[in-house]
Amino acid sequence: MSLRFYTIAYLVFLYAPIMLLPIFAFNDATIIAFPLSGFTTDWFGELMTTKALHDAVGNSLFIALTTAALSTCLGMCAARAGAMPHFRFKAGIMGFVMLPLVLPEIIVAVSLLVVAVQILGLGLSNWTIIAAHTLICTPFSIAILNGAFQNLDPSLEEAALDLGESRWSAFWSVIFPLVMPGVISSFLIAFTISLDEFIIAFFLTGANPTMPVYIWSLLRFPASLPVVMALGTILVALSILLLTIAEILRRRGIAKAGGKDTGGFL
């Protein structure tokens, strides 16, 4: 009984603030407070006519897509190397690669800002954000793809090599199709993380803000809060959809490889 109460209380604490987003997004008052005054969809319509928001969304989509592609490629290489039995210093190297998972983002952001501006003399732009997001998204890609590569039967690649395939062609013709669901799942997770990330983007953004940075700038204007609620509702729905698709693909990839599911996102 106590465990059930704890579970319900935890879920309410976790999701109640998120459930307030659509409630106030459809409220026609500019003040975020109860009681609600009426129903409207004007705030969603205002999203369609705000050019600065469109530019911020375009920047975020470009950064997220590029980051997801780079993170997935790097994660696939690292996960493939981690699955090889004869890889010297594998534990230590993989530990360093996964280190960004436990580092505070604000420390990473300040460090990258110093490196980019003071040491390398680079100007802040979308590419500095892409480099930083790739750094923090790659460990997530590795964590997802590790399961896909670890559950593969090594005899499949050995059979392809015995039949005259090179190691490169054996990977693309045998291994890659089997881990494709994990690759897609990794891409979606990295895309979602990059799209929603704020702290690093706040420090490294240039003249063109990302969507989270733009949303933060709107918080200075109380009359814009309902627009933020409407945008937040769309982002939450999109994130849930992408995470659900990623989890379904992850489970299908493990089942296709004949492995055992040891847990995931859902």
Task: Tell me the CA distances in angstroms from 17 to 103, 115, 227, one per residue in order.
Answer: 26, 37, 17
Question: How many whole angstroms separate alpha carbon 166 and alpha carbon 124?
Answer: 43
Q: CB of 254 within 8 A of CB of 261?
A: yes
The interaxial angle of helices 225-256 and 126-150, nearest 10 deg, is 30
Return the CATH class of domain 64-84+94-256.
Answer: mainly alpha
Task: Tell me the CA distances in angstroms from 37 to 29, 40, 62, 241, one per residue in order.
Answer: 6, 10, 38, 30
Would you say residue 261 has pLDDT above 60? no
- Predicted confidence (pLDDT) per residue in 207-218, tens digit: 788 888 888 887
Lowest mean pLDDT among 122-131, 145-154, 186-195: 145-154
DSSP assignment of 180-244 equals HHHHHHHHHHHHHHHHH--HHHHHH--SS--HHHHHHHHTT-GGGHHHHHHHHHHHHHHHHHHHH
Query: Which residue ranges make up each domain of the chain?
Result: 64-84+94-256
Percent of the chain topping pLDDT 90: 6
Q: What is the pTM of this model?
A: 0.76
